[in-house]
Structure 1
Amino acid sequence: MSPVRKLERFTLPLTVGATRVEVSGLHRDGTGTPLVFLHGFGSTKEDYADVIQQSRLAGRPVLAYDAPGCGASTCADLGAVSIPFLVSVAEQVLKARQIDRFHIVGHSMGGLTALMLADGAPGRVASFTNIEGNVAPEDCFLSRQILTHAHDDPEEFLARFAERVGGSPFYGGALYASCLPHKVRAGAVRAIFESMVDLSDHGKLLDRFLALPAPRMFMYGEQNNTLSYLPALAEGGVELAEIEHCAHFPMYSNPPQMWAHIADLIARADTGS
């Protein structure tokens, strides 16, 4: 058995607007079109670290990093961390790592960030795996709680948010909720959630997703297979990937099936089949 080629850690200081951030990331050199991974709210780059276990993706360049205010990445102004801010961060990280064209995989918040990034530069995207990233108002079942369960104290909001998610009947909810206080700074939550809600309600995200020219996949858990826009995605040429025994977090509930679908799309995109 050949040795696993590990991911290397890096830190990258950036200035986004007037805000200083330090990005903590993982990368691997290789050949072919790079794989870029964007994590969801309350998650980290390590959601994708098992890319090194995927033989079908072996040898490819890899980039994953923590969004500012999440994981090991820092931000001097947590209130600045909105989706447009995260898109600017992505653009700067890609430039610093000298990545032009890429396959992108984004989950939830990361899926929305990836969509806005791809919408701004569609020719750079070789394929897009959207793992329950926001494309419609109904996707704000987590982020809209900033309005429906508003609290003046950011720490208290995050604690109660974790309690609600942890007590839900959905796959992966308790595991996800147990890590929230360690993976996201409470001061970053409001701006992130408010921008996710605003874009989902007013940003015509479904139209933007359908208009992308790259091969696209929308991945969702079987517990979320009633999403109203799934037929529109299929009719618009988006490949649908339903993950068994899963809700919003395939990387926690069914990673083998998640990785198999990702590898399939990337292989087909590279060959044009």
Structure 2
Amino acid sequence: MATTSETNRDMDTKLIHEKYDLTIDGVDIVIAATRREATTDLAPIVFLHGFGSTKEDYIDIVHHPSFSGRPFLAYDAPGCGETVCNDLSKMSIPFLMETAKAVLQLAGIQRFHLCGHSMGGLTALMLAHQDPSRVVSFIDIEGNIAPEDCFLSRQVITYHSDDPEVFFEAFVQRVRSSKEFSSSLYSASLRHKVRVGAVRGIFESMVDLSDNADIMTKFLSLPFPRMFMYGEQNASLSYLGHLEANGVELAEIPHSGHWPMYANPLEMWCRIAVFLDRQKQ
């Protein structure tokens, strides 16, 4: 016979896998999502993954007792993972933001904590800037907030190729040879997690927003608690002091680079848990 703690544990780790049918700007999408229902009155966390990653970056949340009872939603962005999209040529950060809004509506989520990594961090920033009243707090894991953050996406310009397959294959090889923690692990799954047809539009959009949309001002103007998380290999980012001086909590993850969820997930989850616990909702 199961004990009460065992029963609660089973409830806490139960995942719901769903498909959401939606249309954005004439593009038909079938979103692959994973969520956990609420067993408390805590606000859910909405996770937005980075380029070349998937919702599975965040599913281990169910194994960390600090998040017991906390509902969450993670899904594969169009062009990534198990999500199906019938026109990848329209991919961009604004498109991904509109997708996020549609997913939130279908999932019935009104108020939420946001957590986004890299591409997902930039998408989350644009979403939060457009409708800050719905966001309880924002955890930005190396999401773009300045031109210097385009170390991956700017390669679409610096290593330009008219052939998407040629560019992507060379991109994978460059990432594989990077000295950042977890770069080889990340590169090994890129071909399986992202569609080649989505790469150019997403990268060009990330560069354009980072260079021209004053996203630092947008980030600093958000009226709720914010944390910026980064790997210790990126502690030289020029704007970290500026963030801290403007009330943004910094979370440096040791033994990590751009992908703390791969290099040091335990520390990543611990810092997220402490930050959320202070929000009391």
Fold equivalence (TM over 0.5) = yes
Measured against the shorter chain, the TM-score band is over 0.9
Q: Which runs of 4+ in 1 moved over 6 A?
A: none
1:172 alignment partner in structure 2: 182
**Percent of paired sites with the same residue:** 55
- Alignment RMSD, CA only? 0.9
1:93 Cα deviation from its structure 2 partner: 0.3
Secondary structure, counterpart of 1:256 in structure 2: helix
SS in 1 for 2:189: helix
Structure 2 match to 1:232? 242
Any idea what SS the aligned residue of 1:41 has? coil
Q: Following the alignment from structure 1 to structure 2, what is the Cα–Cα distance between the partners of residues 102 and 262? A: 14
Q: Distance in 1 between matches of 2:138 and 2:30?
A: 26
Q: Which of the residues 44, 56, 68 maps onto 1:46? A: 56
Structure 2 unaligned residues grouped into runs of 5+: none
Q: Give, in whole Å, the separation in 1 of the partners of 2:274 and 2:135.
A: 16
**Structure-2 separation of matches of 1:205 and 1:68:** 23
Q: Distance in 2 between matches of 1:129 and 1:122?
A: 14
Cα distance in 2, alignment partners of residues 25 and 81 from structure 1 = 19
Query: Partners of 1:156 and 1:13 in 2: how far apart?
Result: 32
- 1:179 counterpart letter in structure 2: S
Distance 2:163 2:76 in 1: 24
Whether contact under 8 Å (1:127, 1:265) holds in the other structure is no
Structure of larger gyration radius: 2
Q: Distance in 1 between matches of 2:130 and 2:36?
A: 26
In structure 1, how many angstroms separate the alpha carbons of the residues matched to 2:141 and 2:68? Answer: 21
Question: TM-score scaled by structure 2?
Answer: 0.95
Structure 1: runs of 5 or more not aligned:
none
Question: In the alignment, does 2:52 pair up with 1:27?
Answer: no
- Deviation, 1:127, is 0.8
Look up the match of 2:84: 74
Equivalent runs, 1:214-229 vs 2, <5 Å: 214-229=224-239
Instruction: Calculate the TM-score normalised by the size of structure 1.
Output: 0.98
Counterpart residue identity of residue 26, structure 2: A
2:45 alignment partner AA = L
Correspondence list, 1:61-210, <5 A? 61-210=71-220
Measured in 1, the distance between the counterparts of 2:68 and 2:161 equals: 46
Q: Give the drift of 1:74.
A: 1.2
